[in-house]
Amino acid sequence: DTGVSQDPRHKITKRGQNVTFRCDPISEHNRLYWYRQTLGQGPEFLTYFQNEAQLEKSRLLSDRFSAERPKGSFSTLEIQRTEQGDSAMYLCASSATRTARGSYNSPLHFGNGTRLTVT
Amino acid sequence: AQKVTQAQTEISVVEKEDVTLDCVYETRDTTYYLFWYKQPPSGELVFLIRRNSFDEQNEISGRYSWNFQKSTSSFNFTITASQVVDSAVYFCARGGGGNKLTFGTGTQLKVEL
């Protein structure tokens, strides 16, 4: 039973560069979430997908951020023109929802995260 | 914003002591979920429990127990006979539709020998 996988684990980049992170959810999970966590804080919601549709984006997600989930499986999060304030842990999570015979919404299962450092 | 408050920033206990982590939440919804997650030094958030707003029964799982009180908007977490391996940051979270979670700021638990 593989969990949520994120790549890379660590990324160091210079201010102004673009970075892209990848998340592979648990295979039977149709929902995928991106969160950001800074030191000493809890994770903050960025965006989520149900299958390939991006259903909600937080105001934290500036226009420099874009997330995709093109085939409803893995997802990428790209940050353009990185700033030092983007330094954080980026967490991906997935969950399963079913609506046949009553709704079911599984808890979120998180990956190990990608730690971004912008110098 | 509907906040989740974990007033205890850090707690230190000696192994085998019981410890309770507090969580108070705000909500305008009648249906919602409450969660606890553990984040060990490795960084991965580990799911511990989910309760829905209609189920106020307290729950016990091994050394872990949870006390959900809607009247005080609290969802406290107790570890009985703490162990060094329990050392981690513990997050309380509230979720609504879509499973979008609002997390508290976490409580760092240190269990020492």
| Residues B68-100 pLDDT 10s | 999 999 999 999 999 999 999 999 999 876 678
Supply the pLDDT for residue A104. 65
Q: Let me know how long chain B is.
A: 113
Which of A55, A56, A89 is opposite residue B43, by nearest beta carbon?
A: A89
Average pLDDT, whole number, for chain B? 92
What are the structure tokens assigned to B13, written together?
Answer: 């206990």
CB contact under 8 A, B44 and A31: no
Supply the pLDDT for residue B98. 61
The Cβ of residue B5 has, within 10 Å, a number of other Cβ atoms equal to: 15
Query: pLDDT-based confidence at B1, cuts 50/70/90?
Result: low
Distance CA A72, CA A49 (A): 8
Q: Which has the closest alpha carbon to A38: A118, A115, A93?
A: A115
Which of A42, A91, A95 is opposite residue B105, by nearest beta carbon?
A: A42
Supply the pLDDT for residue A89. 97
Instruction: Calculate mean pLDDT across residues A38-52.
Output: 93
Q: Using only the alpha carbons of chain A, give its radius of gyration.
A: 14
Judged by a CB distance cut-off of 8 A, whether residue A57 touches chain B is no
Which of A48, A91, A115 is opposite residue B45, by nearest beta carbon?
A: A91
Q: Which of A22-31, B53-62, B78-87 has the lowest mean pLDDT?
A: B53-62
Supply the pLDDT for residue A14. 97
Supply the pLDDT for residue B100. 84
CA of A101: how far to CAs of A107, B51, B68, in Å?
19, 21, 28
List phi, psi (to 5°) of B29.
Answer: -90, 150
Query: pLDDT-based confidence at B61, cuts 50/70/90?
Result: confident
Residue written as token pair 């107790």: B78
CB contact under 8 A, A108 and B47: yes
List phi, psi (to 5°) of A19.
Answer: -135, 150
The helix/strand/coil state of A104 is strand
Distance CA A83, CA A62 (A): 12
Distance CA B7, CA A81 (A): 36
